[in-house]
Amino acid sequence: MSANTTESDDALARRKASLRTALVLASIAVVFFFGVIASKLLGSPVASIGVIGTVVLLFLVVSIGRHLRK
């Protein structure tokens, strides 16, 4: 009976990890999508790089901070 419980717990843990990975990848795609749109609205190449760089930096800070908290 405990073997089934262990397998079930492992499957649940893998599913949660896969879901977190999918959410992180989807959020990266959304960040770049809106970053590119914002950079086009600003018009300047320097502003474009600044917008995308700032968004990526903020995303990394939030992601790393979330993992350090655990």
> For the chain, what is the radius of gyration of the CA atoms?
18
**How much is the mean pLDDT over the chain?**
77
Residue 15 Cα distances to 21, 25, 54, 66, angstroms: 10, 15, 31, 19
The arithmetic mean of pLDDT across residues 12-16, rounded, is 88
27 token code pair: 């959020």
Residue 51's pLDDT is 72
User: Tens of pLDDT along 45-67?
Assistant: 777 777 778 777 877 887 787 77
User: Three-class SS of residue 43?
Assistant: coil
Domain boundaries, the chain: 2-69
State the pLDDT confidence band at 2, using cuts at 50, 70 and 90.
low
What is the model's pTM? 0.57
The arithmetic mean of pLDDT across residues 20-44, rounded, is 79
